[in-house]
Amino acid sequence: MKYHCDKVGIRIRTLREDNQLSREHLADILDLSDSYIGLIERGNRGITINNLVKIANYFNVSIEYFFEDRSNNSIVTSTRLKNLSNLIDSLDEEDYAFVLHIIKDMVFHIKGSTEK
């Protein structure tokens, strides 16, 4: 399998942005320079396995995540669903039931207004 710096960089940037982190903040967390993160995200520089492991561990994804042959939309969807899941998992049962009720109502109203 050929390693594509640009694809790995896009996935790192997607994870960072979906988690609402600036490049500088991520660099501080991982003890890397923000310019290095920028070069990786743009595909202008490769990444060491050690730094890739740091990033994977921080975002709780596998190393394979960066190399899987998936579309960028799948990556975004997967990350967004994971973020939603983490939010929902943090709720107690009563709050969970309340949020679920609101979501169901919203979906019902959206579908009702678009179906003709």
Residue 99 tokens, joined: 């949020």
pLDDT at residue 16, rounded to an integer: 94
Q: What integer pLDDT is reported at residue 116 of this predicted model?
A: 45
pLDDT of residue 71: 54
pLDDT of residue 28: 96
Helices 5-18 and 72-89 meet at what angle, rounded to 10?
A: 30
Position 94 scores a pLDDT of 93
Torsion, Cα of 57, 61, 63, 66 (10° steps): -120
Domains of the chain, by residue range, sit at 5-69
**Secondary structure (DSSP) of 8-27:** HHHHHHHHHHHTT--HHHHH
Tell me which of 2.30.29.30, 3.40.1190.20, 3.40.50.300, 1.10.260.40 is the CATH number of domain 5-69. 1.10.260.40
pLDDT in tens, the chain (116 residues): 446 778 899 999 999 999 999 999 999 999 999 999 999 999 999 999 999 999 999 998 888 888 877 555 555 566 677 777 888 888 899 998 998 899 899 888 888 766 54
Residue keyed to tokens 């929902």: 88
